Amino acid sequence: MAEFEDGEALLRAARAAREQGYRRMEAYTPFPVEGLPEVLSVRGRRLPLIVLGGGLVGGATGLLLQWYAAAVNYPFNVGGRPHASWPAFIPVTFELTILVAALSAVLGMFALNGLPQPYHPVFNVAEFSAASRDRFFLCIEATDPRFDLQETRAFLETLGARGVFEVEP
């Protein structure tokens, strides 16, 4: 794991590592760094689908629930309106769509990125406590096929890092 002063240095280092053929990398930054996800080939394509699915489920639930309650299970005359008067169902359908979509956004985010995770090996590095303040870290994981402790360490040191650390599992 290498420590950098700013996002630009991290971005350059990540590109260099990518050219070297490293794939199983992870970057830790205090704020989103423009262009970093593309370099690390992180594509957030699944969460929007989960949110869309949640929204559709919520909307369908809202509509069917009202239709069932108003027209099927206990129909009665309220102010002379038709039993299944769809314009009156729109607000609840709309709000349930948003509610379930928002809940699936949060829960889907947790499920996809494995949070909450109070224990993580990178915390074993003392300098890593600055990662959420003003330091940028690039971590190449040992599961990478090109990983070799000496070689990778030497490579990271060529990238102009403030320091290179070994992360204990």
Partner 1 sequence: MGQIFHPSTNTFSKVSIFGAVFFLAGVAAFALMFLRSSYVTGVGVVEPQPVPFSHAHHVGGLGLDCRYCHTAVEDSSFAGLPPTHTCMTCHSQIWNTSPMLQPVRESYATDQPLAWNRVHNLSDFVYFNHSIHVQKGIGCATCHGPVDQMPLMWKAEPMTMEWCLDCHRQPERYIRPREEVFNMRYEPPPDQLALGTQLVEEYGIEKARLTDCYVCHR
Residue 75 preceded by cis peptide, ω within 30: no
Give the number of other CB atoms < 10 A from CB of residue 22. 20
Whether 165 contacts 135, CB under 8 Å: no
Q: Residue 15, CB half-sphere, CA atoms under 13 Å: how many?
A: 8
Nearest residue (CB) to partner 1, 31 versus 76: 76
Give the number of other CB atoms < 10 A from CB of residue 48. 11
Nearest residue (CB) to partner 1, 125 versus 159: 125
- Phi, psi dihedral angles at 119 (to 5 degrees): -105, 130
Site for partner 1 in 37-56 (CB under 8 A): none
Q: Which of 21, 116, 145, 158: binder of partner 1 (CB under 8 A)?
A: 116
Q: Which of 68, 86, 94, 110: binder of partner 1 (CB under 8 A)?
A: 110
Count of residues of this chain found to bind partner 1 when the rule CB under 8 A is applied = 12
| Region of 7-15, 49-57, 120-128, 134-142 interacting with partner 1 (CB under 8 A) | 120-128
Tell me: does residue 126 bind partner 1 (CB under 8 A).
yes
Q: How buried is 1 (Cβ within 10 angstroms: 0-12 exposed, 13-18 middle, 19+ buried)?
A: buried
Nearest partner of 14 among 32, 38, 43, judged by Cα = 38
Tell me: does residue 123 bind partner 1 (CB under 8 A).
yes
Q: How far apart are CA 52 and CA 57, in angstroms?
A: 9
| Region of 19-27, 79-87, 119-127, 145-153 interacting with partner 1 (CB under 8 A) | 119-127
Tell me: does residue 80 bind partner 1 (CB under 8 A).
no
Q: Which of 32, 76, 79, 158: binder of partner 1 (CB under 8 A)?
A: 76
Residues that bind partner 1 (CB under 8 A): 74, 76-77, 110, 116-119, 123-124, 126, 168
